[in-house]
Amino acid sequence: MAGLNLVLVTGRSLSQGEGLDIGKTTKDYFEGVAIIELDGEDLEALGVVEGGKVKVETEYGSIVVRAIKSRRKHKGIAFMPMGPWASLVIDPNTYGSGMPTLKGIKARILPTDEKIPGIKEILERIYNIRVKEIPKETLSEGESVSTASRVIDNVACSFCGCLCDDLEVEVRNNRVVKVRKACSLGSSKLLHSRENRILNPYVRENGVLVRVDLRSAVKKAAEILANAKYPLLYGWSNTSVEAIRVGVELAEYIGGVFDNTSVICHGPTIQAVQEAGFVTSTLGKVKNYADLIIYWGCNPLNAHPRHLARYSAFAKGIYAKSRRDRKIVVIDVRETDTAKVADLFIKVKPNSDYELATALRMAIRGYDIESGKVAGVNVEKIRELAEMMVSAKFGVIFYGLGLTMTQGKGRNIEELIRLAQDLNEWTKFVAIPMRGHYNVVGANQVSTWTTGYAFSVDFRRGYPRYNPGVTSATDLLNNGDVDAALIVASDPVAHMPAKAVENLVKIPVVTLDPKWSLTAVASTVVIPVAMTGVEVGGTAYRMDKVPIRLKKLVEPPPGILSDEDVLRMILEEVKKLR
């Protein structure tokens, strides 16, 4: 059978993002995520029609998904949205960084007649989890008390790291009925906040999740954590600072590992800061000053939809008044939607960002570059970009997972930071990471001020230690090094590499989540919680480390507590046991 060798890139997509709130067991999620985007020419070469099935094979596994023709040309590169399907073929190896290799993986694509496995099948067949009994729960509509609605303004959106705080939310009968100013991801989260909810605590007995009361669930959770020799406490990027603070205390008390999801997003950025420092600013500085904006390895139009209009390319600023006052550059391995709005698009060879950063640093210093092409880019083009950089009055590089997840990992970011530092000899330049979850920065902040380290914090010897690559959630799970886990506000079963998931589902897992995530389905103890930023307030940190208060918009479902409250209950119970 004819096959093609391509480079596989995984990442966030709009439908993947929206799907998080509709639920991962839905048809929409399946259709949006069990796919691979291929260039038209590649599709043709494979002899597969749009929507046809292909098998993706890598050194690490294989999976059948539906082939989609990509809207933009990126011959030789295949894109899969993050999710349980992509997890089966990515490179789980973190190369000592804690970050699995989720982009730039060699893959073979073949036409196939095999069936595309559904979520249930993946869980049952591959991970050996019984899912027949996913409890069906519906949040009652409640008595229609009144038809009066109220509008809450200046609401901070708890979806992505942009944390846009200008939303107008209309609430009627304790329901969000309308959301203004938000992007589709933000409104989806708010409008679908009542769907797919977990409404009761569950404990697994004889392989089946059984409904219990909160007290018994907390007790069981505490037993699991107190008895564990080496528990992992993971997640924390979709909850409030208040909850994270209790999480650290719990991890310290039980001698576990406290790790947040930056381990699979910007953990390498943190490692780079530890080597080189940083040079950064808040987004308002970019909005008001930046006349050169470079998006490197990120695609905000899909992952941070309002970023361009609110903070960067199209924002109305004091000195840079509009798009016309700014030059936009996109550096990526494929032509993304964001690349379409750029004045200059630089297509970098996969896994060669380090080389490109090196060449840029050389070009701005005026060093000779012997090779005519670096990282697949003509040296003239590199010089052109270098010239743009030094002649900018205020330049910014926004960088994303295209650098942190590929070969070189943190070292890519280190070079990028050094590049920005170098540029300050000539002009003003800053570099800002595009952070994903709305409070992943908060998780880093709390972790840093309480322990000295931003993620992968190991308390097993009674004081904080840090070593991503060894004590990172990914590596601990890849290698089966922990014996219990507490998952808060995250879905590792959907997003971690298959190897890690296989080990995770073998150990007792306690999950706190407002919704039925794949991890919740596979857990030993499931405790429902209120949705932070919707049903409970708290602090979150924007991607540029600006703290913003989240608002409580509606009441949580009856009997459902916040992450913070449930964690405190678990901590108190643990203290009785150990």
Partner 1 sequence: MGRRFIVTPKEDLTVLVEAERIKPEIFAGKTLDEIRELIVYEGNRRRKLGELFNIQEEKVEGEEISIVLRGDFSKVSRIGEEMGTGEIIIDGNCGSFLGYKMKGGKIIVKGDAGSWLGAEMRKGTIEVYGNAGDHVGAPLRGLKKNRAMRGGMIIIHGDAGTEVGAYMVKGTIIVEGNCSVLPGLKMSGGTVLIMGDCMGKAGARMSGGKVIICGKAGEILPSFYIDSIVPSVKAKGRKIEGPFYLFLGDVLENASCSGRLFVSVNNNPELKVYEELIESGGT
Partner 2 sequence: MDLLIKNGFVYDPINGVNGEVLDIGVRGGKIVDPSEVDPREAKVIDARGKVVMPGGIDIHTHIAGPKVNTGRLMMPSDHYFSFMKFEKGVHRSGTGKYTPSTFLTGYRYARMGWTMAVEPATPPLKTLHTHEELDDTPMIDKLCFLLLDSNRILLDYLSQGDLDRFRTLIVWFLEATKSYAVKLVDPGVAISWSWGRGYGLDIDDEIEPYGITPRDIITSFCRVNQELKLPHTIHVHCNRLGIPGNYETTLKTMKSTSHLSVGGEVNIHITHAQYNSYSGESWFDLGSGSEEIAKYVNNHAHVSLDIGQIDFGTAITMTADAPFEYALFHLSRWKWGGAEVENEAASGIVPFKYRKRNFVNTIQWCIGLELTLLSKDLWRVILTTDHPNGAPFTRYPKIIALLMSKNYREEIFKKLSRRGLKKSILPSIDRELTLYDIAIITRAAPARLLGIDNFKGHLGVGADADVAIYDIDPEKIDLSRDYMKIKERFSRALYTIKGGEIVVKGGEIVKEVYGTTYAVKFREEIDKSLLKELEEKFREYYTISLSNYWIPEEGIRHLRYIYCG
Q: Which residues bind partner 2 (CB under 8 A)?
A: 153-154, 156, 165-166, 241, 245, 249, 252-253, 270, 273-285, 287-289, 310-311, 318, 393-394, 421, 424, 427-428, 430, 444-446, 448-454, 459, 461-466, 539, 541, 545-549
Give the separation between CA 364 and CA 382, rounded to whole angstroms.
10
Give the separation between CA 146 and CA 536, rounded to whole angstroms.
22
Tell me how far apart the 2 most distant CA atoms of the chain are, in Å. 75
How many residues does the structure list for the chain? 578
Residue whose token pair is 């609605």 = 149
520: its two tokens: 């919740």
Q: Which does 428 bind (CB under 5 to 8 A by kind): partner 2, partner 1, none?
A: partner 2
Out of 319, 367, 449, 463, the residue judged to bind partner 1 by CB under 8 A: 367
- Window of 45-53, 304-312, 319-327, 468-476 that interacts with partner 1 by CB under 8 A: 468-476
Q: What residues does 331 pair with on adjacent strands?
A: 296, 346
Residue whose token pair is 């913070």 = 564
The H or E element that residue 486 is part of is strand 484-488
- Window of 62-70, 108-116, 187-195, 406-414 that interacts with partner 1 by CB under 8 A: 406-414
In terms of CB distance, is 167 or 405 closer to partner 2? 167
76 binds partner 1 (CB under 8 A): no
Give the separation between CA 246 and CA 520, rounded to whole angstroms.
21
Q: Which does 253 bind (CB under 5 to 8 A by kind): partner 2, partner 1, none?
A: partner 2
The H or E element that residue 330 is part of is strand 327-332
Out of 469, 502, 545, 547, the residue judged to bind partner 1 by CB under 8 A: 469
The nearest distance, CB 262 to partner 2, in angstroms, is 12
In terms of CB distance, is 171 or 470 closer to partner 1? 470
Give the separation between CA 497 and CA 96, rounded to whole angstroms.
15
Enumerate residues 297-326 that contact partner 1 by CB under 8 A. Answer: none
The nearest distance, CB 84 to partner 1, in angstroms, is 26
Out of 129, 160, 374, 493, the residue judged to bind partner 1 by CB under 8 A: 374
Q: Which does 96 bind (CB under 5 to 8 A by kind): partner 1, partner 2, none?
A: partner 1
Out of 31, 133, 153, 275, the residue judged to bind partner 1 by CB under 8 A: 275
Long-range contacts of 286-289 (CB under 8 A, 24+ apart): 286/311, 286/312, 286/315, 286/394, 286/396, 286/430, 286/432, 287/311, 287/312, 287/315, 287/316, 287/317, 287/320, 288/317, 288/318, 288/319, 288/320, 289/317, 289/318, 289/319, 289/320, 289/393, 289/394, 289/428
Q: Which does 260 bind (CB under 5 to 8 A by kind): partner 1, partner 2, none?
A: none
- Ramachandran area for residue 437 (φ above 0: left; ψ -120 to 50: alpha; else beta): beta
Enumerate residues 217-236 that contact partner 1 by CB under 8 A. Answer: 228-230
The nearest distance, CB 411 to partner 1, in angstroms, is 6
463 binds partner 1 (CB under 8 A): no
Out of 173, 280, 282, 407, the residue judged to bind partner 1 by CB under 8 A: 407
Q: Find, among 438, 431, 356, 454, the residue nearest to 98 by Cα.
A: 454
Site string for partner 1, 252-271 (x = CB under 8 A): --xxx--------------x
Contact indicator for 259, 456 with CB cutoff of 8 Å: yes
354 binds partner 1 (CB under 8 A): yes
DSSP letter, residue 531: P
The CA-to-CA distance between both ends of the chain, in Å, stands at 60
In terms of CB distance, is 4 or 162 closer to partner 2? 162
- Ramachandran area for residue 550 (φ above 0: left; ψ -120 to 50: alpha; else beta): beta
In terms of CB distance, is 58 or 282 closer to partner 2? 282
Which residues lie closer than 8 Å to 247 by C-beta, 6 or more apart? 233, 236, 258, 488, 567
Number of residues that bind partner 1 (CB under 8 A): 44
In terms of CB distance, is 9 or 374 closer to partner 1? 374
Phi, psi of 549 (to 5 degrees): -80, 130
Q: Which does 368 bind (CB under 5 to 8 A by kind): partner 1, partner 2, none?
A: partner 1
Give whole-number Cα distances, 366 to 204, 344, 386, in Å. Answer: 65, 21, 10
Give the separation between CA 465 and CA 469, rounded to whole angstroms.
13
Grouping H, G, I as helix, E, B as strand and the rest as coil, residue 91 is strand
481 binds partner 1 (CB under 8 A): yes
Which residues lie closer than 8 Å to 302 by C-beta, 6 or more apart? 12, 13, 14, 336, 337, 338
Q: Which does 108 bind (CB under 5 to 8 A by kind): partner 1, partner 2, none?
A: none
In terms of CB distance, is 79 or 394 closer to partner 2? 394
The nearest distance, CB 489 to partner 2, in angstroms, is 18
455 binds partner 1 (CB under 8 A): no
Which residue type, as a one-letter code, is found at position 488?
Answer: V
The nearest distance, CB 414 to partner 1, in angstroms, is 9
Q: Which does 460 bind (CB under 5 to 8 A by kind): partner 2, partner 1, none?
A: partner 1
DSSP letter, residue 72: S
491: its two tokens: 């879905």
In terms of CB distance, is 239 or 471 closer to partner 1? 471
Out of 23, 52, 96, 118, the residue judged to bind partner 1 by CB under 8 A: 96
- Window of 138-146, 200-208, 367-375, 424-432 that interacts with partner 1 by CB under 8 A: 367-375
The nearest distance, CB 408 to partner 1, in angstroms, is 6
Q: What residues does 170 pair with on adjacent strands?
A: 151, 178
Q: Which residues bind partner 1 (CB under 8 A)?
A: 95-97, 228-230, 254-256, 271, 274-275, 351-352, 354-355, 358-359, 361-362, 365, 367-371, 374-375, 407-408, 411, 459-462, 467, 469-470, 476, 479-483
